[in-house]
Amino acid sequence: MHKHLDKNIKKMNNIVMKRISAIIILMFLLLCPIKCAFPKSEALDSGQAYVITSKCDIYSLPDFSSDKLLDENNNIISLKHKQIVNILEIINDFAYIEVENVKGYVYKFYLTNNSSPIVYPVFNATIRKDCTVFDYDFEDSGYTLKKNTRIFVYEGYSSKQDYTAVQFILEDGSLYNGYVDKQFVDPDGVSSLLILGITIIISAVTIILSLIFIKKKKK
């Protein structure tokens, strides 16, 4: 009787361990960064380069949180699509550039050494429903993003903010930066986190039920 009980307990333990192992593997796969199936952006070299975004602000440091450079009228200095700049140095994701006697840092993926630039965007979110795009002054930009349009959320997504800063491709091939209502933005990875949460709950329930089963068998 005891041998049969011990055999059942061992069998149940093996089942539990296999389930736990499978869940751990699934959690690892969900947490691993997923490589996007987009073409790699071309290598950027020092020297002449072209702006591929519709608006490219210049920062004082190679960091989005640093101050943006201002002109004599305290207006933000922004580069335009196809404007030519001179790259002095590449620092991580930023390029230290000079243009019209102004030096500063810009996001390097807004530049290309090609005279006929081809945009290779990195997308990390999807539009849930047709929505209006607002400019930096939060006025109607005249652009509308259609449902399922892939976009790049470049300042991070926060449910506490009413609007999300996004980037998308215009018909002329340039990149446009603007804002959309957060309710229309579906960031990548949210569904994976939901699956992860469900997996953890299932794991906990499985372990609890297994322990209850083992206790009943011992009685």
Q: For the domain that residue 95 is a member of, what is the CATH number?
A: 2.30.30.40
Who contacts 80 (Cβ-Cβ below 8 Å, separation ≥6)?
51, 54, 55, 56
Model confidence, pTM:
0.46
Residue 184 pLDDT:
94
More confidently predicted of 90 and 44: 90
Whether the Cβ atoms of residue 52 and residue 112 lie closer than 8 Å to each other: yes
Count of the separate structural domains present in the chain: 3
Residue 86 pLDDT:
96
Q: How far is CA 13 from CA 20, 85, 200, 201, 212, in A?
A: 10, 65, 18, 19, 12
Whether the Cβ atoms of residue 203 and residue 27 lie closer than 8 Å to each other: no
> Is the C-alpha dihedral spanning 175, 114, 43, 38 positive or negative?
positive
Euclidean distance between CA atoms 13 and 91, whole angstroms: 53
**Domain around 175:** 125-187
Q: Is 200 within the bounds of a domain?
A: yes
Q: Do 100 and 64 belong to one domain? A: yes
Q: Is 118 within the bounds of a domain?
A: no
Q: Do 182 and 210 belong to one domain? A: no
Residue range 191-206: mean pLDDT, rounded: 58
Collapsing DSSP states into helix, strand and coil, what is residue 179?
strand
Residue 218 pLDDT:
55
Q: How crowded is residue 1: how many other Cβ atoms within 10 Å of its Cβ?
A: 5
Q: Do 174 and 196 belong to one domain? A: no
Name the token pair of 191.
Answer: 């569904």
Which amino acid is located at 103 in the chain?
K
Reported as a pLDDT band with limits 50, 70 and 90, residue 31 is very low
Question: Can you say how many angstroms the Cα of residue 39 is from the centroid of all Cα atoms in its chain?
Answer: 16
Q: Do 71 and 57 belong to one domain? A: yes
Q: Do 51 and 106 belong to one domain? A: yes
Q: Do 177 and 197 belong to one domain? A: no
Q: Is 40 within the bounds of a domain?
A: no
Residue 133: is its pLDDT beyond 70?
yes
Last residue of a domain, one of 73, 89, 112: 112
